[in-house]
Homo-oligomer: A and B are copies of this chain.
Amino acid sequence: MIAGTPEPPYLAVIFSSQRRPGDEGYGAMAERMVALAKEQPGFLGVESARDADGFGLTVSYWRDEAAIAAWKAHADHTVARRLGRDQWYADFQVRVCRVERQYGVGDR
């Protein structure tokens, strides 16, 4: 679902990943991490899609760098990231960005 973000500027974390085959606890952890992220101060929204070949994009939106740093340091998230690196992902890339402008289906 498209996230209803505020007027820019705000930050986006683009997480691009290639999953290894098999679930191995990934689906449950992914759901838990989304639920936990939504509770964090400065969280603005998240969008995620993964195709049938296991390539996925998750973009989370945040108020400021402090919010991103706090979420990165969260203990449960740190455990999940380690499992991701060691088990679930064949490859990934994280890009931290400043959203400068946005427009949607209702805008010209």
Contact = CB atoms under 8 A, between A and B. Distances in A.
A99 to B, nearest CB: 5
Interface in A11-65: 12, 14, 16-18, 47-52, 55-57, 59
Interface size class of A (residues with CB under 8 A): 35 or more
A66 interface: no
Contacts of A49: 49-51, 55-57
Given A49-B51, A55-B49, A97 B2 contact: no
Chain A at the B interface: SS class? strand
A97 B94 contact: no
A63 to B, nearest CB: 15
A96 interface: yes
A95 B104 CA distance: 9
A14 B102 CA distance: 9
Given A49-B50, A49-B55, A103 B99 contact: no
